[in-house]
């Protein structure tokens, strides 16, 4: 059997939520042997998301784990950490050893070919992420088939300068670690998580044709009022009807 891919999507209530999860969920229906963990940053599972999940017909788990109030008050809020941690716990307890864990934010865009790239991950596999930061792309730098450094617009002293969508982890490898966790530190979630796995550069499995292909994008959805600001004022409201 093919290894199962556990796709963890943190999400939270806002007007775009259903649109994001509909688009992403329908992409995921194209992928074999997948299990979607939709992890809400909220005190309870939203019924509208529950019915979407049932309609899609994918194997899924619906979780709700609100961010503790202390972190919400910070200047840089660690978005999606409480809910990703809950999903990580679930995968450690329920995931198959041969499975793979992949964090995919609700607003990202993905080419389904990426799932076959990550499917046979043993430790941690990596690839480039498009449309992110000042450099447009963030990618491991590969020499002789191994990761030697990172190309990223925000190095910030990180050992692993990668985006959440830029790697996948073998479930068996996670289970072997003493204390796999994700820190509540905005900007350092990926780096902290990978460090908690005791990962070294030479353990990284290079994917996407030696990290030369972009198959996932860190797209972001504009808030609705942005559109109104860019349009000229509407002089025809009602008075010409
Ligand atoms: N998120 C969350 N709670 C929040 C804010 C964000 O669970 O209070 C989720 C969001 O749905 C997304 C991920 O965390 O899947 C990253 O958030 P966002 O896309 O806002 O971050 P950015 O892409 O700007 O880094
Ligand atoms: Mn995002």
Q: Is the dihedral of CA 107, 34, 190, 72 positive or negative?
A: positive
- Indicate if ligand 1 lies below 6 Å from the C-beta of 41: yes
Query: Rounded distance, CA 140 to CA 136, Å?
Result: 14
Give the total residue count for the chain.
241
Cβ neighbours around 169 below 10 Å, total: 27
Q: Which helix (H) or strand (E) holds 56?
A: helix 47-56
Q: Is the pLDDT of residue 228 over 80?
A: no
Residues catalogued as catalytic: 190
Question: What atom of ligand 1 comes closest to residue 39's alpha carbon?
Answer: 7
Q: What is the pLDDT of residue 225?
A: 65
Query: Rounded distance, CA 46 to CA 39, Å?
Result: 11
- Indicate if ligand 1 lies below 6 Å from the C-beta of 71: no
Question: What atom of ligand 1 comes closest to residue 40's alpha carbon?
Answer: 7
Which ligand sits nearest to residue 14's alpha carbon? Answer: 1
- Indicate if ligand 1 lies below 6 Å from the C-beta of 106: yes
Q: Is the pLDDT of residue 135 over 90?
A: no
Q: Mean pLDDT score of the chain, rounded to an integer?
A: 96
Query: Rounded distance, CA 3 to CA 98, Å?
Result: 6
Radius of gyration of the chain from Cα atoms? 19
pTM given for the model = 0.95
User: Taking Cα atoms as reference points, which of 84, 83, 38 lies closest to residue 62?
Assistant: 38
* CA atoms lying within 13 Å on the CB side of residue 115: 22
Q: How confident is the model at residue 227 (pLDDT cuts 50, 70, 90)?
A: low
Q: How confident is the model at residue 233 (pLDDT cuts 50, 70, 90)?
A: confident
Q: Is the pLDDT of residue 85 over 90?
A: yes
Pairing mode, if any, of strands 124-126 and 109-110? unpaired
Query: Rounded distance, CA 180 to CA 26, Å?
Result: 30
Is residue 34 left, alpha or beta, with left meaning phi > 0 and alpha meaning psi from -120 to 50? beta
Q: What is the pLDDT of residue 230?
A: 73
Protein residue whose Cα sits closest to atom 4 of ligand 1: 79
- Indicate if ligand 1 lies below 6 Å from the C-beta of 105: yes
The residue whose CB lies within 8 Å of the most ligand 1 atoms, and thus the one to mutate among 80, 107, 133, is: 80
Q: What is the ipTM of this complex?
A: 0.99
pLDDT tens digits, 5-57:
999 999 999 999 999 999 999 999 999 999 999 999 999 999 999 999 999 99
Q: What is the pLDDT of residue 231?
A: 75
Q: What is the pLDDT of residue 234?
A: 79
pLDDT tens digits, 156-184:
999 999 999 999 999 999 999 999 999 99
């Amino acid at each position: 059997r093919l290894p199962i891919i556990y796709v963890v999507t943190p999400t939270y209530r806002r007007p775009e939520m259903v649109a994001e999860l509909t688009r992403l969920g329908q992409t995921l229906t194209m992928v074999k042997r997948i299990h979607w963990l939709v992890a809400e940053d909220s005190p309870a599972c939203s019924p509208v998301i529950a019915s979407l999940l049932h309609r899609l017909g994918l194997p899924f788990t619906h979780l709700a784990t609100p961010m503790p109030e202390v972190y919400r008050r910070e200047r840089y809020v660690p978005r999606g950490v409480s809910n990703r941690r809950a999903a990580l716990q679930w995968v450690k307890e329920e995931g198959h050893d041969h499975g793979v864990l992949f964090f995919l934010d609700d607003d990202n865009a993905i080419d389904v070919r990426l799932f076959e790239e990550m499917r046979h991950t043993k430790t941690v596999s990596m690839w480039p992420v498009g449309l992110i930061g000042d450099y447009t792309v963030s990618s491991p730098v590969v020499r002789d088939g191994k990761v030697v450094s990172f190309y990223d617009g925000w190095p910030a002293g990180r050992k692993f300068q990668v985006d959440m969508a830029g790697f996948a982890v073998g479930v068996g490898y996670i289970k072997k670690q003493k204390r796999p966790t994700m820190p509540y530190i905005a900007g350092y979630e990926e780096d902290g998580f990978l460090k908690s796995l005791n990962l070294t550069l030479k353990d990284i499995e290079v994917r996407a044709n030696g990290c030369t292909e972009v198959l996932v994008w860190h797209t972001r959805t504009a808030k609705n009022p942005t559109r109104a600001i860019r349009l000229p004022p509407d002089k025809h409201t009602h008075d010409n009807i």
